[in-house]
Structure 1
Amino acid sequence: MTVIRYQICRAITSLVLALSLAGCAATGANTRAEVPPMHSIDAVKDQRFAEVGDPWEGFNRSMYRFNFYFDKYLFLPVVTGYEFITPTFLQKRISSFYNNIGEVKSLTNSLFQLKGVESATTLGRFVTNSTLGLGGLFDPATSFGLERHDEDFGKTLGYWGVDSGPYLVLPIFGPSSVRDAGGLAVDTGITYGIYTAIDPFGNVNDGFIYDYGIVALDEIDARHQQSFRYYESGYPFEYYMVRFFYHEKREIEAGKPLATE
């Protein structure tokens, strides 16, 4: 596959994923689009989205439904409350702050992948936004032409040839794979290790309360920035489509070409 073809395929897949998962084709508030939720793969076996390895489909569907109910009755109400009481300007500053912290994860994984230019760009973004951006509250790095590169250890494993393994739906975190679940564990460990080493509230009374608050706000902000809503895609077989798009997106991000007919 040539570079141009790869870029076109990547752009198309990203566009389809965004249109499919962003809720732009929402059929209404979170209503179950699949009733009953179980469908035979035989009904769609001639479709590309049936090709993803999913030996634990029963478990994954259970987790998918759990995530729907968790999202609808707990997480999204909290996010909605956060959006209601927090001015838009402050929401943007909070998102920018956490995105800047996320540059550390991207930097370490760019280094793991031996991507020199990308590592330098990510480091430049972090330094610029941490200084001129007032601790990451603003993003002057983007206006300076320093492109953001979102890397994680799952992509690093894929970059070095590790197969994605079976599809896996994680509780709360959502679509994943065996490879990406392991990568998430590594990234979490690295982030926790760095935070523990810095220990910003180590000398503050009841500092653990602030630690938990920072983590909780990070999760709320992450869900605030994610527009996907379960069962609002408009697809009658949403589970299969989400599985397919997630798998294809991650394979491309790991540097692998799209599957061909």
Structure 2
Amino acid sequence: MRNLRITCCAILTVCVLATLTACAGSGAHTRSELPPRHSIAELKDEPFAVVHDPWESFNRHMYKFDYYFDKYLFLPAVRGYEFVTPVFLQDRISNFYNNIAEVRNFTNSAFQLKGKDSVKTLGRFVTNSTIGLGGLFDPASKLGLERNYQDFGKTLGYWGVDSGPYLVLPIFGPSSVRDTGGLLVDSGITYGIYTLVDPFRGADNEFAVTAGIETLNAVDTRHQQSFRYYESGFPFEYYLVRFIYHEKREIESGKAGKDQSGPQ
């Protein structure tokens, strides 16, 4: 229940930020209509037609929802954040949240029994948490300890779990049944660790502070992503994004070339 209240508050805060910055952000993206819908029959011989997508109608509607959410809520909030926050501070905030994410990278490297990657990721976290002043700076990269992005969806793929049907999630965007399950596991682990540590336990304003941190994390995450819906210039963007996401995840989990993810 506490986690649900935090999430609702975070979304509400994003909505307020979006409302306050709508005037500044509305001129940056003037297109109000979506490109016309196309049929997969037009592309039946193309490689991105083979991705298993039995829920295409639902996914298309969710893709459109994500477009509108992004355009009218998320991106205005991000533009407002970028407008009022100096670039130097933006970089420090991004480094801080990226450093926290090393916990997820470490646990999943360990789940995949990748000892070398686990040690390197732990070294990154310790280095940036100490020399990097709590993760605000990234001296680990300069020392050759590059970030190794991992999540439980990749872990499942590494151990042979098929991606399953393609799935577009609200707000989170392109995913699959496997990666959605992985997202839930990673979120559960993160929440469990936070509950165990809980640096604000007992504080009078614990809920407000936690909600603020989660909201800033969401805004910073979108700030770091360059993807913009319907700006690829490709008339069949839904299929293109679906194919790229699927292939990228298969390559990252080491399953590319082992199978074709069409309907079984």
TM-score range, shorter chain: 0.7 to 0.9
Partner of residue 176, structure 2: 177
Q: Deviations over 1:75-132 (max 9, x none)?
A: 1000000000000000000000000000000000000000000000000000000000
Letter in 2 for 1:169: V
Letter in 2 for 1:226: Q
Does residue 97 of structure 2 align to residue 113 of structure 1? no
Assess if the C-alpha contact under 8 Å between 2:158 and 2:253 holds in 1: yes
Partner of residue 14, structure 2: none
Partner of residue 36, structure 1: 36
State the structure with bigger RCO (CA 8 A, min sep 6), 1 or 2: 1
Partner of residue 191, structure 1: 190
TM-score relative to the length of structure 2: 0.85
Partner of residue 205, structure 1: 204
Partner of residue 93, structure 2: 94
Letter in 1 for 2:35: V
* Structure 1 residue 200 displacement after superposition: 0.8
Partner of residue 130, structure 1: 129
* Structure 1 residue 34 displacement after superposition: 5.1
Please give the secondary structure, in 2, of the residue aligned with 1:240.
Answer: helix
Partner of residue 84, structure 1: 83
Matched residues, number: 233
Assess if the C-alpha contact under 8 Å between 2:48 and 2:242 holds in 1: yes
Partner of residue 65, structure 1: 64
1:138-177 superposed matches below 5 A = 138-177=137-176
Partner of residue 5, structure 1: none
Structure 1 gaps of 5+ residues are 1-27
* Structure 1 residue 226 displacement after superposition: 0.2
Partner of residue 74, structure 1: 73
TM-score relative to the length of structure 1: 0.86
Please give the secondary structure, in 1, of the residue aligned with 2:101.
Answer: helix
Assess if the C-alpha contact under 8 Å between 1:30 and 1:232 holds in 2: no
Q: Distance in 2 between matches of 1:257 and 1:170?
A: 23
Assess if the C-alpha contact under 8 Å between 1:107 and 1:122 holds in 2: yes
Assess if the C-alpha contact under 8 Å between 2:35 and 2:235 holds in 1: no
Q: Deviations over 1:130-166 (max 9, x none)?
A: 0000000000000000111000000000000000000
Q: Distance in 2 between matches of 1:44 and 1:258?
A: 22
Q: Deviations over 1:141-197 (max 9, x none)?
A: 000001110000000000000000000000000000000000000000000010011
Assess if the C-alpha contact under 8 Å between 2:95 and 2:138 holds in 1: yes
Assess if the C-alpha contact under 8 Å between 1:31 and 1:231 holds in 2: no
Name the % identity. Answer: 69
Q: Distance in 1 between matches of 2:30 and 2:223?
A: 16
* Structure 1 residue 36 displacement after superposition: 2.7
Letter in 2 for 1:119: S
Structure 2 gaps of 5+ residues are 1-27
Letter in 2 for 1:254: S
Partner of residue 25, structure 2: none
Partner of residue 13, structure 2: none
Q: Deviations over 1:179-232 (max 9, x none)?
A: 000000000000001001111111211211100111000000000000100000
Aligned-pair Cα RMSD in Å = 1.6
Partner of residue 242, structure 1: 241
Runs of 4+ in 1 over 2 A off after TM superposition: 28-37, 257-261
